[in-house]
Amino acid sequence: MYDVYALALPSRRIRWRYRVPRPGYPGAPIILGAGCCLASVGGTVDAIDAVTGKRRWQAPLDPYFDDAVRTSGSLVLVPGFGTLTALAADTGARLWKADGFSREGPGVLAATPQVVCIGDGKTAYGLDARTGAVRWRTRLPAPPTPSAPPWPRTLIAMALSPGLVARTVGMPGLTVDLAGPAGLAGRRENAGLAVLNPADGRPHWILGAPGNTRTPWTVRADEARVYAFDGERLLAFGR
């Protein structure tokens, strides 16, 4: 079991403690709107009232996905073995469930009020935020990893995992080609970055990290720029 604490600021006195009476490795608590936070551990996700510390609702969660729960507006997005379930943030009621993905995924990459973008292998999917139906799918040069919330409405940014070639396409004023000589085809390639249009999944641009970058970028975006941290440098790109 483990505990979730709420502290009063600036005194840092404990306002309440919520005990999760289940074993497991917990995901970090997630703050929701409407005075609520989420705790996921041991096969369930609990919504906790931020004022009283009392449980509002509880929903099942597939094992090993405790740290994969994400929120977007009125949705709580719960990955499972080949599935993604959307719950209502205020009640925990199941709104839709999308399936047919690999057992290792899917992972939530980003979301807008209209689209939930997930990654499964080297493919990004755009799911309708109201129904869970697949609206588009985009094949990427490497497996994508999530950007950090809050997410902008007009673009979807994601890191690309190290290990595969990525080329820059359609980015004005910049051309990076990581393919190299044919004799280097078997070498480990660099990390990268992709920015997609949430309406249809088309890439605005895809960038392979220059130099010998091996660390996946930590990515955050706003409506105007995409920011990437490679462990040493913070880089900013126009959308």
Chain-centre distance for alpha carbon 147 = 6
pLDDT band at 34 (very low <50, low <70, confident <90, very high): low
pLDDT band for position 187 (cuts 50, 70, 90):
very low
The mean per-residue pLDDT over the stretch 73-93 comes to: 89
pLDDT at 112 over 90: yes
CA distance 203 to 98: 23
| Cis peptide bond upstream of 106, omega within 30 | yes
pTM score: 0.78
List the single range of 123-132, 142-151, 165-174 with lowest mean pLDDT: 165-174
The reported pLDDT for the residue numbered 129 is 95
How far apart are alpha carbons 92 and 165 in whole angstroms? 41
The 3-state DSSP class for residue 31 equals: strand
- The CA–CA distances, whole Å, from 207 to 147, 156, 196 equal 15, 14, 12
- Report domain extents, the chain: 141-239
C-alpha separations of 59 from 62, 107, 126, 160 in Å: 10, 19, 24, 31
Give the number of other Cβ atoms within 10 Å of residue 26's Cβ. Answer: 17
CA 162/CA 216 separation, integer angstroms = 6
> Given the structure tokens 């007009």, which residue do they identify?
154
Question: Residue 73: what pLDDT?
Answer: 81
For the ranges 105-114, 119-128, 202-211, 222-231, the lowest mean pLDDT is seen at 202-211
Average pLDDT over residues 32-56: 79
